[in-house]
Amino acid sequence: MALASALRFAPEFQLRIGGQAVPSLLRASVSSVSYQTSLDGADRVELTLVNDKLRWLDHPLLALDREVAVLMGYAPDPLQQMFVGEIVGHSATFPSGGAPMLTVVAQDRRRRLQQGTKVRWFAVPVPCRGNWPMPDPAVAGIVSLEHGLIPILDPVSAALSFLVTGAQVAIAQGNPDTMQTIIRKQMSESDFDFLRRIARENGWEVLVDHEAPLGGRKLRFLSLAEHLAPDVTLRYGQSLIDFTPRITTVGQVAGISARFWLPEIKTDFTVAVAWDWDRNSLDVSISPGFGTPGKAGRGDETITLINEPLSQFTAPRVILSKLLARLNERLTGTGSTIGDVRIRAGKVLRLEGVGEQFGGLYRITSATHTIDSGGYHTHFEVRKEIWFGSIPLLAQGAVRVQVQGE
């Protein structure tokens, strides 16, 4: 029984290059494999090989741009495909003593989006009506397909984005200048930065789905506000090895303000949106003129001014995207656990046994899975998002610590 239990928790990984399992000699030469997934950039894999007799130094299997897939898990259970991408770099060490080593780095296909910059508009010419804006889901789809990536959008979020664009067009009809302001423009940006800007303004995150079929080729645009159920539960003293949360009181009521011009009445307006942590509510203040408006929230709020051209149509999305980014950095943390393939960027992690303030639901912003001579370990970074405030703390697993005798 003990032997069967030990075998079931034996870390295992597989490598596939060009769709085929690598030769056993190459597999045996890998001393460690590390996979990192993040909301901020391309996922990456780092393979460290013992380069005995320099046999792998110029091997065609490890050539740049070769497709590589990594599967992880525990034997004898089926392994989970964690990553599909392309080899982008090599580094080597030739020590005076000991075996030479070779490190192979691969990234997912989002790296293709980062190459070069473009200037273009995304509009649909309508006879006798001029250029009309293309909905953001369509823009995201076009840019993704240009790089061989299959766009997959959350149906509800996509529908809302289409509705918002339709409402803007309905209001702007008959005013060509206003219509131009709501057309998506890529201004000397990489496709990666352009898609991230669209995603932020729609409340989406952009992730590559590595699971089969078509692993590594599916680009998902996810609305995190609609994904609040926990994917993984860890408990301190049991499955959670360590956890280091960080909370800041800077900007207890964080605010963003912006200026826009209303051509119909030829007047500047400044709008401020702030979040009150005590009341879990948004406060909005609008005032004519340029500068910080009256008071949005309490009197101690931190207001950041957006210094970029906006209109009454673009201001709400831009303000909220920048505000949410600040709010979701108030409570963050890092931790580790025994290797768990379920822990990936974008997933929801439920932490128990760490008190009421630091327990509950978190969004995983990055995770690193490592298999080496020390076994299989997963390190993660998380953030507490304001969306989780709609769920009672008890239901989240955030329970106040009770000390016996006190």
Above 90 in pLDDT, residue 391?
no
Q: What residues pair up with 32 in beta bridges, in sequence order?
A: 48
* Per-residue pLDDT at 304: 56
Alpha-carbon torsion, ordered 361, 367, 371, 376, to 10 deg: -10
Above 70 in pLDDT, residue 264?
no
| Higher pLDDT pick, 333 / 315 | 333
On average, the pLDDT of the chain sits at 83
**209-226 burial, b for 16+ CB within 10 Å, e for fewer?**
bbeeeebbbbbbbbbbbe
- Tell me: domain 227-248+329-396, CATH 2.120.10.30, correct? no
Q: What is the CA radius of gyration of the chain?
A: 25
Please report, rounded to a whole number, the percentage of residues in the chain having pLDDT higher than 70. Answer: 73
What is the Cβ-side half-sphere exposure of residue 329, based on CA atoms within 13 angstroms?
A: 8
pLDDT tens digits for range 224-240:
877 889 999 999 999 99
Q: Which CATH number fits domain 2-107: 3.40.50.300, 3.40.50.12280, 3.40.30.10, 2.40.10.10?
A: 2.40.10.10
pLDDT tens digits for range 148-187:
999 998 887 777 776 666 666 666 666 666 677 778 899 9
Amino acid present at 37: T
Domain boundaries, the chain: 2-107, 113-224, 227-248+329-396, 254-327
Cβ-Cβ contacts under 8 Å for 213 (sequence gap 6 or more):
none
Average pLDDT value for residue range 89-110? 95
pLDDT tens digits for range 361-377:
999 999 999 999 999 99
Amino acid present at 251: G
209, containing H or E segment: strand 204-209
pLDDT band for position 296 (cuts 50, 70, 90): very low
In terms of Cα–Cα distance, which of 63, 100, 222, 197 is closest to 143? 197
